[in-house]
Chains A and B, each alone.
Chain A
């Protein structure tokens, strides 16, 4: 059993924690893809240059690499570390599990970071004074190391959604080479190549020394990797097929935001792919700085949409069937319904005096443990707003049977008293936080909540649906 380790909970005010880590993650992923694809593209350009098939290739490679170093080596490196630190701020239990299970994989990835930085910096510093073969060797090593960092992290990220046989065996390589590993790896490799190509088009246009004809020739060469985008639909379908059915359903209509982000990712990828294949590669049209910047921006939006969906469709889990979004393990829910989720929390409330009753203070503590990772009280995704038009009994029922109310929510993991305290807290906030508030201690209400909790059970929503439970409160099997 994975125990609920009490950590102090960070308060980000009106900001939803998921958005913070998501926003940083999207930014980091885009820069990392630029670095990975950039290495591959530059090695290809160097090879072409050595064969006399790329005019100004050498000059462009050196300029592109300078940009790569200034962006990827600085922002990429710092945001990489920031991802770790931010994960600790958002959900220490989740990152703790990930580090515990995959620390050797991460350590292996680190060894490739070292190679990437050294090979890259040597090229940056001495590349212009080196013979062609040495340049090519350095670029190949840099590209390989960068791609290997993708290889290793991809296994950990896909494990979160599709842990596969790991759930039974707890064997690290079962988790690493999970069902989503290969489609995701190939998809991300193509995305990296496309990002680097589009960035190259922007940079080529930014060099005033190149004539229009020279720019056109360089763009024609740099855009070649975009052809691989033709494989994206097939890979997308493959990746989708590896997803659990309920996760797939969020992105295909089950959840409006997920579906919108999915449409955004697919739509932007389609626009970039079509323009690249038809206009740039087939008709050999010249793309100027504005167009290439727009295409790169669309690629960013596609990445953002894709990453948002990848993070979102894991719900209600952060590690599928192992840890819920609120860092509570499925097998501990039943125990927490008896002992309470706040009982072992040693951290007091920061502003306890602001709550007029003890019940509201309990509600604030329970909210902190169970809800605050995705919700706020007054801000983004605020529960009082989501439940604004529910009656008080509706709140009790909907929270007690949370996994039925919204199947991407985890089951409630606390006592009826804690649940009632959360309901009171939400209602109190809705009422504008008055200084006087009546405590609710009606035993009949507790009993009703306990019944509702028992009816819903402790299994996640998709399991209830699969077992034939209906949302009308019954426990009928179809």
Chain B
């Protein structure tokens, strides 16, 4: 009787337990599976770019059927119809190199900010302004009110043949000229103007992928690999997929291109197309909303504190190495009396007499900061503390600020000259054929004297070197969902957020006292029951 009851009860209970545990596990597994489900299938579909945006055939316009002698003639022809265009461009940072959002006119390459690459454009214009959307900015006498000096073609050429020469202050060549190993041909203006169109990645990338004087040098998330990226490198610009142009996110109105500038965040309101059909698509949330993951997914709960980029750009410079460290103090060394270069492991120079030594890295893990979309830039007129690392720009934000989110950054570190007498940063005159140019005579004092003078600043005549940092928000090269960070990348002892303090993060933080007391209590319980059990065993044997 007893055994029959036992069997039947056990027989009924056991399957029930099994059923429940199986149900649990399959539920958990399913939920997990959904997360990892083939992301390629889940990629959002976006319409391809229209083959043509415009209702005019530029090749048929009589004004364009001429043999242009200079690029300014092209601009004049463009302006004969697009009569507002130059004045629109004049208002933008692409033209002024000063942030229009900064009323004092100090922010920007044309102002008083600086970096730790080639430091400043002042006195180096003919080289730097090969990336200016204009013609002839070779020194401070450039006329910024000239309409014909606006370069329409650098942004609107669709043939890929229009090239500004690297050292001609924004002009293309008039006869075939070599620069290094490359030969630059004079543009065929007739053919180019006949097929002008909206900018492609090719146009923007001509400058923005080569910031800092070469491919991938500056940003880490913008380089020539984005001309034709695969899905792994950038899900949006994926040439085989949605093939976004830059303006797909950098919504453009009348030559004003949305995006972050020195004084102005990329966006101030977290709005999506659902809230406002004319919202600029500059933030991830403009299209994806602030609840972009499937309903109930914990990642949706992170969007108030963690920027999308943090998880979805797990590393930058994934295809081409970027410069991470630049030591100007090493510049000027010669071999057999001649300048030289050393090519390092990535096929990139690790030493260059003109510039010093570099460190390049590929597939770099970003550094993370609380970021409210604003940065603060050091000016050449600001006093520095040379004993500290000088932050040439600072990431603004705080864990307690509701507008700040944890955001990935590239931090470019370096050592560069400063004005010891005045305790300010300093501008070297690098480029030029004159004796004062550093790249000519390798004399810092001459170069700094000339550079500071060109920038309209005082130089004490005494220089030394200081450690500097420059921060770049990482926002391009969004990886496919399946390559995004996993929970434990951050929720762990030495995870990615290890450097961010002052808040509790599960998996990373604990109260040591509670843990010590807790584990001691667990150990005591284990010891206690083991001792008790052993005593029972021993005493039982004695009895027996």
Do A and B interact with each other, yes or no? Answer: no
Chain B residues with CB under 8 Å of chain A are none
